[in-house]
Amino acid sequence: MSITEKTINNRIFDFLTQHGINKNSSILVAYSGGPDSGVLISILTDIREIMGYSLNAVYIDHGIRSRTEMIAEYNHIKKNFKTEVTIHIKHIPSGKIALDSEKTGRSVEDLAREYRYRIFEELKKEIGASHVATGHTLDDQLETLIMRFFQGSGIHGLSGIPDVRESYIRPLLTVEKQEILEYLSINKISFVTDKTNLSNIYLRNKIRHKLIPVIRDVFPGYRSSLCSFSEKMDAVRAVLERTVPSLEIKVNKDGDSYFSYSDFVDQPLYRQIDTLYKSWNLWENKPFHRLSYKLITGALRSLSDSSSNIIARSSLYMLIRDKDRIFWKRVVVVSGKKSYLKVITAGELAILPGILLRVHRSDEIDKNFICIREDMVQAPLIVRSKNAGDRIYLSNGVKTVKKLFTEWGVTPKERWKIPVIEDRNGIIAVLGSPFGFSDRMAVKYKKNSSGTKNLMISASFYGDVCE
């Protein structure tokens, strides 16, 4: 056995021993057919008899790659996978992740991970596995640290990928990619290369192929530096966890997360920020995008203002105070409240009793519709009531929606009813047509042409709008 083989085998053996993996354990290995999971399943199989645990594997087809590539990968698995380990094959419908990404504005990477871990959880329960092992390596750890640093993560994020998180274990987290490749070569283990790992469409690949070579050139010792940085952040995190306990966060029957206002204001700033992030993550009804740090700092500033129960607000959600509780709430249609918000999908949508929104795709231009080039939309696309400070960029300059309504002669009490169309980049259109006014569209979205796929949106009035 080579030095590389002994080193990796010993590290995995020590890791499993340290974390209490024994004859009473059952490990489900996330297997992709790639080099990392190939080494992981090989070693876990080799030392299984010594350790005494049971072993299963799961392969997931994310429905992202071409049929030709998937068939080649299936054939590889059938030919090379160790027959003494049961492998479970799971499929996500082809194109589903891409479609969900288009609808929600979330990245394909994030959604793929969410689907993948959902399958892990379901299968873990089904077969009674105590642990799920993934093939994350030291290189994955370094890429994650770089990504989180530039995304502005806090101490938890900058601690890196944990080697153990609940039932998830990562035995290869201290192993370098080069060691993985040497092990495969020595043991003549074949593997498949996922072509999506070569594409710079995905953020992690951009970091791997573009950013890391530059960092390596400027800071040759970046690998050990990032590892020590991660260890220091984890040490700080551990101290904070011991000295400043986390605030209790609950979820009500509607799926809204909440916590105590009086306990929250007594917390140090770090823990307040942490509580807002954690409560957001626990919120079952949250929008699909990330919670912005700008909104968090704005919320913390406004907590001193006792005159309003709205601590922070975006076009999609609010952070509100109700007596001694702080809640996350979606901006939704509520009976008796003059406000609404809904995500737009193709088809017909009743946005209020009396107003029908129609949305369809077309290669043509129809003067009776607002025509938006589909490739210009940054999902999610929503229809909502006017918010204070709304602006629309018209051909003759920027105009507040309030001023637009004043010019139209809309009374203040009726203004909330007029539909505002918005995506991540701001207001696209204001639909005055159901009320006898013109539809107004932001100038940058007017660059439509025949033959380009457009979203065709119109609203019509078909009865009394209820108060």
Q: What pLDDT score was predicted for residue 205?
A: 87
Q: Among the residues of 155-268, which ranges form H helices?
A: 155-158, 177-186, 203-206, 212-218, 222-243, 261-265
The more confident residue out of 340 and 421 is: 421
Q: What pLDDT score was predicted for residue 335?
A: 37
pLDDT tens-digit profile of 131-140? 999 999 999 9
Q: Among the residues of 283-394, which ranges form H helices?
A: 293-302
pLDDT tens-digit profile of 73-122? 778 777 776 667 889 989 888 888 887 777 666 778 888 888 899 999 99
Please check whether residue 352 is in contact with residue 465, taking contact to mean a CB–CB distance below 8 angstroms: yes
The one-character DSSP state at 435 is G
Helix axes 138-150, 222-243, angle to 10 degrees: 70
Q: What are the domain boundaries of the chain?
A: 3-135+171-198, 258-330, 341-461
Tell me, yes or no, if the pTM score tops 0.85.
no
Contacts of 436 (CB under 8 A, 6+ apart): none
- Residue 5: pLDDT band (50, 70, 90) is low
Nearest C-alpha neighbor of 392 from the set 423, 359, 434: 423
The more confident residue out of 173 and 446 is: 173
Specify the residue for token string 């996330």.
30
- Whether the per-residue pLDDT at 69 is higher than 70: the answer is yes
Superfamily of domain 3-135+171-198: HUPs (3.40.50.620)
pLDDT tens-digit profile of 208-222? 999 999 999 999 999
The more confident residue out of 245 and 142 is: 142
**What is the residue type of 377?**
V
pLDDT tens-digit profile of 242-280? 888 889 999 887 778 999 999 999 999 989 999 999 999
Q: What integer best gives the mean pLDDT of the chain? A: 84
